[in-house]
Amino acid sequence: MDDFWGDAERHLIRYNGAGRFVPEIIERAEGSFVFTAGGRRLLDFTSGQMSAILGHSHPAVVATIQRQAATLDHLFSGMLSRPVVDLARNLAATLPDPLSKVLLLTTGAESNEAAIRMAKLVTGRHEIISFARSWHGMTHAAAAATYSSGRKGYGPAAPGNFAIPTPNAYRPDFTTDGQELDWVRQLEFSFEMFDAQSVGSLAACIVEPILSSGGVIDLPPGYLAALRDKVHERGGLLILDEAQTGLCRTGDWYAFERDGVVPDILTLSKTLGAGLPLAAVVTTPEIEQAAHERGFLFFTTHVSDPLVAAVGNTVLDVLQGDGLDRRAAELGAYLNKGLTELKERHEVIGDVRGRGLLVGLELVEDRATKKPADELGQAVTRRCLELGLHMNVVQLPGMGGVFRIAPALTATTGELDLGLEILDRAITDIR
């Protein structure tokens, strides 16, 4: 074999903090599996980077890429093509009024960057609120609103950024008499602290309806509406980042549907391209008009590219045609049941949470104290890989090891069973 790992060591910039890559050379991927150079088959329980909601190399997506690349792939950013306008129209049709104006970009960070930039321009303000366990991307404004990791060593963040406590029901900071999370008191405290520090210039609050990198933390029912009201009372806009929750993964087309809350600005990415670099900012005609009048500028190399826009249209067609919102709800219930049964057998599983096919499983050393189990999480991850299952464990201070489980919406119950079986064995082997 060629000196793959030697070349990787010599020539790649290590971009993932710890500098560790999965110790396998991946040659191809199909459906719910990736295949290594050594002939191993790995069940992909993260849909790539939480993106490949239709599985890898979905035939409809492959056909679209082949057709579109042969006719129209990239244009000058000031030009428009049919796939772009079609996707804007089709995407708007999946959303409640008045969300109908669309900007097509590439990554989640880029879409959040554009959304924050738009909010600042439209409101004439600069302050941004986000959760203390947030992840919104690595570009400037998105990184300034990210608190889960990556803040140290890069100099000052953008001024006017504020973190508020994350409403974590498993590890509550404010509690009721019954020791459950008192999110109402927590939210009141959050804005008391914000008001004490704010200069009265709130532009927006950007949050995920389910914090994924933060540990798959689902916002309590009612929280999102209360948060929106507090933001609007202070003249700000609500931006919802549905990079991982949008487009059927939670069992609804959008996670905000459960709460009946329509954001002022919605950002989509990962799931929209089903693995290809496609993102979107969606807002109201009123906000778009105000932004336009103030000279909104977000002119990028790959804005409105026709190739990925065509893929986005295909993704929407498959989601609708195959009823994958209902399938995600059904498979999610099946997966949750299986993980709950694992919890009954393994004392190290402290919590199972999430919605649809975005599920978190938190490992602890002791259920009573909820002592974090960082090393255990890493060891179980390694053992799963040895047994043929790729898992992703979030390691954040004070949270222990939280597995983010996000299979493709096209997965079968048999594939979910295989993943549960391997996870069961891995925990048993490590313990």
Same domain, 105 and 177: yes
Q: How many helices (H) and strands (E) does the chain have?
A: 14, 18
State the pLDDT at residue 152.
92
Structure tokens at 295: 């000279």
What is the domain-level CATH number for residue 206?
Answer: 3.40.640.10
Please compute, for residue 398, the number of CA atoms within 13 A of its CA located in the half-sphere on the CB side: 10
State the pLDDT at residue 371.
92
CA distances from 54 to 31, 103, 163, 261, 272 (A): 8, 23, 34, 27, 10
Return the ∠ at Cα 390 (arms to 8 and 246), rounded to 5°. Answer: 105
In a domain, 66, yes or no: no
Contact assessment for residue 364 and residue 373, using Cβ atoms and an 8 Å cutoff: yes
State the pLDDT at residue 60.
98
For residue 184, the tally of other CB atoms under 10 A from its CB is 15
In a domain, 377, yes or no: yes
Same domain, 50 and 184: no
pLDDT in tens, 165-188: 999 999 999 999 999 999 999 999
Number of domains in the chain: 2
Same domain, 168 and 259: yes
CA distance 141 to 112: 8
Domain limits for position 283:
72-321
Same domain, 77 and 21: no
| Active centre residues (catalytic) | 135, 208, 241, 244, 270, 404
Same domain, 296 and 376: no
Residue with tokens 């826009």: 309
CA distances from 16 to 12, 150, 223 (A): 11, 10, 32
In a domain, 118, yes or no: yes
In a domain, 148, yes or no: yes
In a domain, 62, yes or no: no
CA distances from 42 to 91, 150, 251, 272 (A): 33, 29, 25, 24
State the pLDDT at residue 337.
98
In 3D space, the residue among 403, 349, 390, 316 whose CA is nearest the CA of residue 22 turns out to be 390
Same domain, 333 and 316: no
Same domain, 214 and 327: no
State the pLDDT at residue 69.
98
CA distance 28 to 26: 6
Same domain, 423 and 279: no
Contact assessment for residue 61 and residue 54, using Cβ atoms and an 8 Å cutoff: yes
**What mean pLDDT is reported for the chain?**
96
State the pLDDT at residue 397.
64
In a domain, 215, yes or no: yes
In a domain, 379, yes or no: yes
State the pLDDT at residue 2.
76
State the pLDDT at residue 400.
62
Domain final residue, candidates 321, 337, 371: 321
In 3D space, the residue among 390, 337, 340, 353 whose CA is nearest the CA of residue 23 turns out to be 390
* Successive 10-residue mean pLDDT values, the chain, 431 residues: 88 84 95 97 97 98 98 97 98 98 98 98 98 96 94 93 98 95 98 98 98 96 98 98 98 98 98 97 98 97 98 98 98 98 97 98 94 91 97 73 96 98 97 83
Same domain, 42 and 144: no
pLDDT in tens, 200-216: 999 999 999 999 999 99
Helix (H) or strand (E) holding 162: strand 161-164
Same domain, 280 and 392: no
- Tabulate helix, strand, coil % of the chain (nearest 5): 40, 20, 40
Same domain, 159 and 36: no
Same domain, 211 and 294: yes
State the pLDDT at residue 399.
59
